Structure 1
Amino acid sequence: MKTNILMAILLMINSLTMAQERSAKVVLQLSSLTNSDSISIVAERYGQLSTRSDRTEAVYTAALKGKSAQFKIPVFDHPMRFQIRLDSKEPAAVKYGPGLFNLQTSFYFLENGDDILIRETNGHIECSGHGYEKIQLIDELNKLASRYGSPGSYNDHGKIKAYLDSRDTLFLEQVALVKKSRDLISPEMRSLLQAEVTGNYLSRFNILFNALKRSEWMKDSISTYRQQNRVSLDTARLNDEPVMGYSASYPFGLLAEYQLDSVVLANKAFDLAKCYHYFKSNYDGYLRERVIMELIYNNKRQETDIAGLCKDALTYFENRDFRDGLEALLKVRKDRDVIYQFSLTDKKGNKIPLSAYKGKILFLDFWFTGCGSCLHMPPVIKNVMAKLAGEPVVYLSISIDRSKAIWLKNARSGAYTTAGEVDLYTEGLGIEHPITKYFDITGAPTIILFDKQGRFVDLPEPAAARRDNGKRIIEIIKGQLAR
């Protein structure tokens, strides 16, 4: 008995040690660099997980020795996506030159035991070493994709048909290339690349969605095209593959396919709860959890009861990272007084604690210089302020600009702000400021409403606010005032 227990403990220790030792080596030799001190690699466990954290994304930086940098990167028991990022000191002419531009904009994968050399000479990229075959394969897949563009016109039946036919051709060519290279890459890598290719194919209608909503002839054309069944998809097999939850594009492809079939072509409004229950009922495992987590996160501005969906999903979610993403959304919606823990800087450089506004409804308006959509928000906010004049509502205009001088200049111009708002600044930290990180603000415009007790109330959708000139926002605030 004691021997069996001892053996079990030793096996456990051995497993943990092996897990800890999983790593991949990458050496970059880039001859075109001129001013760089270092190079970074961004490693992403799930490709592009919307709810990012230190557990799901990491940045590794290595100092340059000559024009070479070496990395030893911890990896998992599945292929992990990575991207190369050059030093900001490097001039644009170098960054966007041939070879280096493609190297920075491509997403590659690492696996345990890889020892890869990526060499750039005069814009030409060469790879060698253990595991280099998948780097070459991804470059070849990208070259195929670069041959095919967008429709060019959304009013020309012929161009729409040519675009869709080209996406069929691209999919078939990429699938054939992955199949041809099957003996050069691991089974997990093969499945993941098939998922990436399929996810991109399923998302081919995304570029047409806005036009589809307005055009009946295009809907008929798309329906006819799909009935031709030129491409046969084996999504049932892919869904059973363990690595599907780690794909960057496959979960989004499944969501795009649902959007096309159940919303656009069905002439129905998108119903988040209905979409949620569809994926809950028809999928399982980590893939189901990944799709549902992305679905909820990317629709967090919907009027639907997001907190209710999060709570329901947490009853069956097993993946820790996906659970963390949902719990973060819930936390924002249930924490009391948390908004009062933050401070921001005013035009005079004074730290303004948001606790100074206790007892009043808070309207937070996040923006940055150069944000086209942000320019459309001041008229909406002006209307909200006019309709609620005299009410205990404080309007905070919060810039996430990196440059204080640029913020001050544009705050004074009135292009992004409204008279009567309190102008505040995230101190040059942008979206890395504690307030933007806590409330997961990754872009602008973003509006958040809090009640008189500092509790989260709503995250209104800016486009919807522009369409109704802030009517729903006014109704939400009036509802809070009546309590």
Structure 2
Amino acid sequence: MLKFKILLVLLFAFGTALFAQKLTINGEIDKELKVDSFLFRYATNFVDQENLYGKGEEVMVKVKHGRFQIDLDSLPATFYAFIRLPKNYSKDISDDYRLIGNIGYIFMLKADTPIEMRLSQDGVTFSGGQKSSLDCQLELFRLKKKLSDRLIALKNGFGSFDKSTTEKQISDYMNTYKSINLNACRDAEKLVTSYAQVLDTMTANAVYYNFIGGTKWNEINRINWWVDFSPDSVRSYVARYYNKYYTDEPSYGDPKRYLGASNEYPKFLAYKAFTDLSNSMALLGRRIKANLALADLLISERYKGNLYDQVAFSSLLMRGTKEYLDDMYLTSLIGNMKNEGFKLYVNDLRNKRTTRARSFQFSLEDENGKMVTNADLKGKVVLLDFWFTGCRGCLALHKNMAPVKAYFKHNPNFKYISVSIDKSKEKWLNSLREGEYTDETDVKLWTGGQNDKHPIIRYYEIGSYPTMILINKNDEVVAMNPPNPYTERNRNALIKMISDALDE
């Protein structure tokens, strides 16, 4: 019942009315493209919109004789969706196919306004009541593609940053990099303005801020990559440049003009708060990341009202799957927010992760085909480790966990449970044989090929890997995302957390 209440209120998060609205999308695809089916995924609430590529409702659409039809119901007035066509790199097709299919840009759609679309080798055309909105968004996608091409050309012309790169070279490169992104934002503003006579105010505002949010997010994400993975000298040059030209820069697209319906803009503002804090600390010479509580303090200083709620909530959704959520932070967040749907969601999260709630009751298969349940671990302190084959962070965690496992090696009341979300059982078993993700002492379980759709993944809302969950002897959650032992300090903190649970 609580989940249902949260969903109901979240549907109002962008000011959209809550009705059981319906939408029909009819389409035609040229037979030459050889598409017999494609994926359509859509989100009807703020939580799913934050990560539509991994969440939301999924429909596999069949194409018969070049025609398809998608029928959706129980929709809010506006929602977000993307089409994932089969990848096609042929030189004979237009960029439109790649924009919608290979890249899968996200459209904002309206319910109760039928859509007609036609996809050919020459491009995509829309008709019906949403034609102007979809045409505008498709032009913005093309603008994003041009921006990407310009940035790739800039990188290819410069090469890579290395120890010999000077601060002046970094500054010159960053000036051009910043200018290219800024010009794209200006072009987007002109484009949306040209549609002003045929788009309603909310739609025009949303698609514009979606472009700004996505573009600026990618811009600072690349800067973060340079800071994280470049040599020390380059890191300090880039951080200094960022602190001088980005930290206090008013975001392109005035926050005061934002009307609240974008799925990208709040995410960007939240990410920028983290980046501002991290780059200010990068000058200390270490790769230090801001935590959620510190970022929320900055967000609360910058934004008020509905915008604060959206940015603070985006911050939680962005980092909450990766970071240990302190009870004080979640309690503060609930107190600061006004949106009742967000508050319900945060409180539900708090109850699952920080208040000794009963853990999810699972039944998972081990490498011998035996089903293992919570009852088999009764009276044990359990550390769950969720991973998948190919995950570099999961490989690193396995190596970093060695001293922790050694510390508790002779304690029969501690169990390390390795849970793979691999879709293929053979891939999982092969990874077990190679021993890159697990040890012989681990209890090795598998989610049965359900991947991130498994109920245990959805219950804990795991969105990144590796993810650890510590459970005490009473089958209660002690901590989700406890300290990752990649430093001595974190390793000691994790050992203490496990020891405290064993001593209870």
TM-score interval for Structure 1 and Structure 2 normalised by the shorter chain: 0.7 to 0.9
Letter in 2 for 1:367: W
| 1:208 pairs with one of 220, 223, 229 | 223
The change in CA–CA distance for 1:461 and 1:48 in structure 2 (over 3 A counts) is: same
Counterpart for residue 454 of structure 2: 433
| 1:176 pairs with one of 187, 190, 206 | 190
For residues 135 and 337 of structure 1, the distance between their equivalents in structure 2, rounded to whole angstroms, comes to 45
Secondary structure of 1:209's partner? helix
Identity %: 21
The change in CA–CA distance for 1:51 and 1:102 in structure 2 (over 3 A counts) is: closer
Contact preservation (8 Å) 1:26, 1:117: yes
For residues 121 and 91 of structure 1, the distance between their equivalents in structure 2, rounded to whole angstroms, comes to 14
Letter in 2 for 1:386: A
Aligned length: 454
Of 171-180 and 320-329, the range deviating more from structure 2: 320-329
Unaligned stretches of 5+ in structure 2?
1-16
For residues 250 and 220 of structure 2, the distance between their equivalents in structure 1, rounded to whole angstroms, comes to 16
Query: What is the 5 A alignment of 1:20-99?
Result: 20=19, 22-31=21-30, 32=32, 34=34, 36=36, 40-46=40-46, 49-50=49-50, 57-74=56-73, 78-86=77-85, 98=94, 99=96
The change in CA–CA distance for 1:317 and 1:235 in structure 2 (over 3 A counts) is: closer
Q: For residue 307 of structure 1, report the CA deviation from its aligned partner.
A: 2.5
For residues 125 and 437 of structure 2, the distance between their equivalents in structure 1, rounded to whole angstroms, comes to 47
| 1:237 pairs with one of 257, 274, 293 | 257
Of 163-172 and 340-349, the range deviating more from structure 2: 340-349
Q: Deviations over 1:79-113 (max 9, x none)?
A: 32211134xxx68679x965433213121121244
Letter in 2 for 1:127: F
The change in CA–CA distance for 1:350 and 1:229 in structure 2 (over 3 A counts) is: closer
Say if 2:274 is the partner of 1:259.
yes
Q: For residue 420 of structure 1, report the CA deviation from its aligned partner.
A: 0.7
Of 378-387 and 326-335, the range deviating more from structure 2: 326-335
The change in CA–CA distance for 1:381 and 1:68 in structure 2 (over 3 A counts) is: same
TM-score by length of 2: 0.79
For residues 427 and 74 of structure 1, the distance between their equivalents in structure 2, rounded to whole angstroms, comes to 30
Q: Deviations over 1:161-208 (max 9, x none)?
A: 211111111111111111111112111111112221332354322211
Contact preservation (8 Å) 1:300, 1:306: no
| 1:189 pairs with one of 203, 210, 221 | 203
For residues 320 and 39 of structure 2, the distance between their equivalents in structure 1, rounded to whole angstroms, comes to 35
Contact preservation (8 Å) 1:144, 1:174: yes
For residues 144 and 343 of structure 1, the distance between their equivalents in structure 2, rounded to whole angstroms, comes to 48
Please provide the CA RMSD for this pair.
Answer: 3.4
Contact preservation (8 Å) 1:82, 1:110: yes
Of 211-220 and 225-234, the range deviating more from structure 2: 225-234
Query: For the pair shown, which has the larger CA radius of gyration, 1 or 2?
Result: 1
Counterpart for residue 412 of structure 1: 433
For residues 51 and 119 of structure 1, the distance between their equivalents in structure 2, rounded to whole angstroms, comes to 27
Contact preservation (8 Å) 2:108, 2:207: no
Counterpart for residue 250 of structure 1: 265
TM-score by length of 1: 0.83
Contact preservation (8 Å) 1:28, 1:117: yes
Q: For residue 401 of structure 1, report the CA deviation from its aligned partner.
A: 0.8
For residues 120 and 441 of structure 2, the distance between their equivalents in structure 1, rounded to whole angstroms, comes to 57
Contact preservation (8 Å) 1:23, 1:111: no
Of 406-415 and 225-234, the range deviating more from structure 2: 225-234
Counterpart for residue 222 of structure 1: 242
Contact preservation (8 Å) 1:133, 1:185: yes
For residues 72 and 302 of structure 1, the distance between their equivalents in structure 2, rounded to whole angstroms, comes to 36
For residues 85 and 253 of structure 1, the distance between their equivalents in structure 2, rounded to whole angstroms, comes to 24
Unaligned stretches of 5+ in structure 1?
1-17
Secondary structure of 2:498's partner? helix
Counterpart for residue 7 of structure 2: none
Counterpart for residue 164 of structure 1: 178
